[in-house]
Amino acid sequence: MTQRYLILSILIQLAWCQTPTTVDLRAQSKNVDFTAAASTRPFKSGAALPGACSLGEMFYLTSAASGTNVYGCTATNLWTLEGGAGAQAASQLSDFVAGRSSPTTLTIGASCSVATPCNVRFGGATHSYTVSTSAAISAGTGTAYIYLDQNGNLTLGHSMTVSCASGCLATSGVTAFPANSIPLFTWTATSGTWDASGATDWRAFQSITNLGAGTGLLGAAANGVTTLSLDPTLVGIWAPVPSTSSSACAAGAWSIDTSFYYVCVAANTWRRAALTTW
């Protein structure tokens, strides 16, 4: 009987030794090196961002365009694109980046904040954007044009059924970037969903405007500045009222007062016609 108890005790101890033990990698490991591991997947992943998250969580969005897959939870239930260089990773600009946060939602300007504003200048006016916005599609197939219009509005032009959140202006009937706008992105959609690889990055920090003098204009470039002026051989230029018929003038110049209309018919030669009422 004693021998049986001894054998049973040994078997119980062997069974106990084979029980799986859970290892706490944070507290029970040191200098962990996964270089030779067959695979490592440090982030949760999926085709859509989870509805809830806690500060510090990370997520890999499999449905996003290359370069815009990694999101971090920057506040409770708020995902933010991390380190994206644009939907096609073609630009090094971070301002106004656009990303596909779900099959029906585009997030625009995820990096724009009070601490890191997205700024753009039109002429002498600078517009600052400190919040991100989004555009939701519900129907349609086509291309959306994301741009800043001449009044500084962040605009999504389209020919589909699209709505914008606060900070974005949805404009229907747009089939190309309008004149006097700053292009940001185009994004294609099919049957009411944004295409996963439908983005094209049109942002540019370098640009040039070429001016050409049309009829009646002259153009002169000096020190990087192009100056436009009227062509006096085609367009009459106003001059001060001449004191005599031989006052200095160039042919085509004109002037007027309450009594006469004056015109220079040749160098330093004026003619005038009386003005009458009726």
Whole-model pTM? 0.53
- Contact assessment for residue 270 and residue 247, using Cβ atoms and an 8 Å cutoff: yes
Average pLDDT, the chain: 83
Phi, psi of 8 (to 5 degrees): -65, -40
pLDDT-wise least confident of 20-24, 178-182, 270-274: 20-24
End-to-end CA distance of the chain: 142
Token pair of 187, please? 């994004």
Averaged pLDDT for residues 79-106: 66
**What's the gap between Cα 167 and its chain centre?**
13
pLDDT-wise least confident of 72-86, 105-119, 199-213: 72-86
Residue at token pair 């946060």: 101
Q: Is the pLDDT of residue 23 over 80?
A: no
Averaged pLDDT for residues 200-227: 84
Strands 118-122 and 125-129: antiparallel
> Could you tell me the CA-to-CA distances from 36 to 24, 32, 33, 39, 260 in Å, in that order?
20, 11, 8, 8, 96
Which tens digit of pLDDT belongs to each residue from 39-60? 777 888 888 888 888 888 999 8
Averaged pLDDT for residues 113-123: 81
Which tens digit of pLDDT belongs to each residue from 252-266? 899 999 999 999 999
pLDDT at 20 (0 to 100): 60
Left, alpha or beta for 96 (phi > 0: left; psi -120 to 50: alpha)? left
Strand partners, 81: 71
pLDDT at 93 (0 to 100): 44
